[in-house]
Amino acid sequence: MAAAGWYRLAPAPAPAPQSEMFALVLGTVQDGGLPQAGCYTPRCEAARRDPYYVASLALIDPNAERYYLVDATPDLTRQLDLIPGEAFRRRAQARRPFDGIFLTHAHIGHYLGLALLGREGLGISRTPCYCSPAMAQYLSSNGPWSLMVSEGRLYFPAVGMNEWHRVDDALSVKLIPVPHRHEFSDTVAFVFRGPSRSLLYVPDIDKWEDWQVRVEDLVREVDVALLDGSFYSPSEIPGRDIEDIPHPLIPHTMDLLQQAVRDGNRVVFTHLNNTNAALDKGSAAATRVAQRGFEVAQAGMRFGL
């Protein structure tokens, strides 16, 4: 059971209609996880008893028994347990858990989990991986990921930027380049469109103002937006310069999107760092987020598509 006062799993939602596609939140914290290595704050100590998972989604079509993974995190083994239904377990045992994998970029929380699907782990059968050409090239050229490619476990469908790509008869995706630290690959956001609704996923960005699109406009075009909420305050990482790991602060994002939220658009913060006070239910930061009509993601949340 979660310690009192801490966000953990979302309350069990009503079962989605059998025919309804939905996005399932598999994790909500920044790449280093919670607890994070070398962190012994009360937040990390509580999370050692009840850990959080790194930011990720599953896209699930129960009627068609289709499953997609959005970012492959180091917590993937436990995150798979959050995906409901015997159909998924049968598929995993048959080494074909996913109909596709979507990767935003090559920072540790977003692709290291692929290794758990390779030869030393699950050993998945041939699976499409949707990402930018630069990310595909990085995976194809660097081990151990390159072994997954050469063994035929991963392949990369051609997906253009800023245009809709039909994934299957119920799901479409658009990749949008995002300004973010490009040490190994570039970075993309995903817009997913299902039969009824749409979802924007931007777990990492340096600055909204540097983006080629206005986040205010994009949020109004979708039903729900899961956005980078890494930090609440610039002073929350003692001994480190936050400029070395730039992300928009939650209060700034709320200022930009306040009118959209007042107008009924849903904005949910994900990818929270272990130092972020908005993780603490009842904290001043979490209270302010809720008062302004925004949300903090919790593993287990569902968004209909």
Could you tell me the CATH number of the domain that includes residue 67?
A: 3.60.15.10
**Position 35 in a domain:** yes
**Position 17 in a domain:** no
Residue whose C-alpha is closest to residue 147's, from 111, 117, 174: 117
| H/E stretch holding 46 | helix 42-49
What is the CB neighbour count within 10 angstroms for residue 79? 24
Residue 166: phi and psi, rounded to 5, are -80, 115
Cα 224–229–233 angle (5° rounding)? Answer: 145
Residue with tokens 């758990």: 116
pLDDT for residue 274:
93
Total residue length of the chain: 305
Residue with tokens 């904005």: 267
Is the C-alpha dihedral spanning 286, 289, 292, 296 positive or negative? negative
Inter-residue contact 283 to 256 (CB < 8 Å): no
Q: How far apart are CA 25 and CA 22, in angstroms?
A: 10
User: How far is the CA of 210 from the CAs of 163, 206, 220, 255, 277, in angstroms?
Assistant: 20, 8, 19, 16, 26
**Position 2 in a domain:** no
Enclosing domain of residue 244: 22-304
Q: How far apart are CA 296 and CA 273, in angstroms?
A: 12
Domain count, the chain: 1
Q: How far apart are CA 53 and CA 79, in angstroms?
A: 7
268 token code pair: 């949910």
| H/E stretch holding 202 | strand 198-202
- Chain centroid to Cα 188, Å, comes to 12
pLDDT for residue 1:
30
pLDDT for residue 13:
42
Name the β-bridge partners of 266.
Answer: 224
- Whole-model pTM: value is 0.92
Q: How far apart are CA 28 and CA 53, in angstroms?
A: 6
Report residues of the chain scoring pLDDT below 70. 1-19, 238-245
Residue whose C-alpha is closest to residue 145's, from 177, 184, 179, 176: 184
Inter-residue contact 188 to 182 (CB < 8 Å): no
**Position 14 in a domain:** no
pLDDT for residue 8:
45
Residues in contact with 150: Cβ distance below 8 Å, sequence separation at least 6, in sequence order: none
Residue whose C-alpha is closest to residue 103's, from 81, 133, 144, 125: 133
**Position 12 in a domain:** no
pLDDT for residue 184:
82
pLDDT for residue 236:
77
Q: Residue 164 gets which letter from DSSP? A: E
Checking DSSP bridges between strand 302-304 and strand 66-70, what pairing results, if any? Answer: unpaired
**Position 112 in a domain:** yes
